[in-house]
Structure 1
């Protein structure tokens, strides 16, 4: 008596055929490399070293959109490093600074061009040789408020922080500016923090903040992009902090330490070159260049 084929079929019926076809498709897909939308980056390989470059909007150091995309100081340095590390799987993720700091603290494969080395961060992060420098640190105010601040003379940041009601400010969450300034901010932390630079500059222009502690190049960039050229003024601090060196910051893991070691070798070869110097000097006020160039030769190239 012959075997009846029911709805689900027998061993030689349609269902096994479909199963074999599905298995063949899955095998084919497993052999293909990842392919995302145009311009998307493949996830890093799981069986070798990888770098997740973290970025956020912080012109003129990082520019994520518009015609200047990818031309910031840190963007160009990151591009140079990525090219030299071509054998390492790499991708780029946009994330606010507090998140990238948390990822590095948790041991992820994230790296950030522009980190400031501090004793607290060295407990969980590895730092490269200096890649660029921040200078000069200033008090940034809305132009209509200039006379109020200039009446103080060289502005004592300690005095401003003592009265956070009369002198309102905000700081980027988790950011380090300079050792002396960081100590003042720890002693008298501002009531407000922010996670994106445009947010803080909008508040300053709307007089919801009285001042920001910032670098003039960053202030000028954001004023221009907020259609407010000339609306912000940079005034000197009485504390006059020294230039601060920025570095590549990765997790303090075996992989992170290995990546930083390779980055250091690249930086030793590239930093003395005129092309690299030009990246570091981009967006600087011409009046600051003599001091920057002297520091570059005397301290930047010799710092560990």
Structure 2
């Protein structure tokens, strides 16, 4: 028996250890809802489905601010985040197959400042020009990351534009709206559904302006697990759940409808986009525009 256990320990490192998974749910509605909420965020359902389909594993969940994610990945614990932007060759994170498709990010501002921004920086907005405008204040939540294309432009003007950071720990999706409404900043960058969510819950009038050369840049979400965790945890767990995601969760009517409820209004044809980019077994039959009509 000891010999058999030794063989299994060598062949399957995760088997020989206490194979547990801690899900890090970001305090950022509408992605993940607070633990006491009756609503289900964009990324909550996939965690629940994976837990239900892997009863042999130990699962735990904690809610935390986005700015604390990096420290968990650096510590190399058995942690996964259900809602990250999928990136290539990340030094700390191993990603699953795509789990969500989001509309292009845009400039979030108030209805009062919309006209002054578009008159000076165009419509769609020229992001490089806007970020270089020292007469306007840019802000974001601490730890917030954007699509690679936007991050590249931001890095080019990082030293020219002061950035107002909000370190508020709870309800991090509201940090941008709070700074705009309280006039601490003039604009930020995020998904259009972030502005819509804030408007519904705070009786505000935030608007999202399209960014030039970014209107076709869909953003893909995925589960991300700590690459530094012992016993090749990230690869082992991702290899375990990828077939579950591809073959069961993504094609399932429940998950598909849940994503549609949150995101469909930001696409001309969400069903087509979902099939084309997320369903490997059933690609979209007709090619079409993936951006929302902004006219």
2:203 is matched with 227
2:212 is matched with 238
Pair 1:202 & 2:178 matched: yes
Given the alignment, which residue of 254, 279, 284 partners 1:275? 254
2:190 is matched with 214
Given the alignment, which residue of 119, 123, 128 partners 1:153? 123
Given the alignment, which residue of 68, 79, 89 partners 2:48? 79
Q: TM-score with structure 1 length normalisation?
A: 0.76
Count of equivalent residues: 252
Given the alignment, which residue of 12, 18, 21 partners 1:51? 21
Residues 118-149 of structure 1: CA deviation (Å, up to 9, x unaligned): 346x2221100011122131211111112112
CA distance in 2, matches of 1:275, 1:285: 15
CA distance in 2, matches of 1:167, 1:102: 32
CA distance in 2, matches of 1:156, 1:184: 11
2:137 is matched with 168
Residues 158-193 of structure 1: CA deviation (Å, up to 9, x unaligned): 111112x32212234443322211111122235223
Contact 1:171 1:193 in 2 (8 A): yes
Given the alignment, which residue of 239, 256, 275 partners 1:261? 239
CA distance in 1, matches of 2:62, 2:194: 22
1:251 is matched with 226
Contact 2:139 2:165 in 1 (8 A): yes
Change (3 A) 1:177 1:301: farther
Contact 2:192 2:266 in 1 (8 A): no
Change (3 A) 1:140 1:85: same
Residues 96-133 of structure 1: CA deviation (Å, up to 9, x unaligned): 1121222113211111001123346x222110001112
Contact 1:60 1:221 in 2 (8 A): yes
CA distance in 2, matches of 1:128, 1:227: 37
Unaligned runs of 5+ in 1: 1-45
Unaligned runs of 5+ in 2: 1-15, 282-295
CA distance in 1, matches of 2:47, 2:268: 23
Tell me the CA shift for residue 263 of structure 1.
1.4
CA distance in 2, matches of 1:123, 1:285: 33
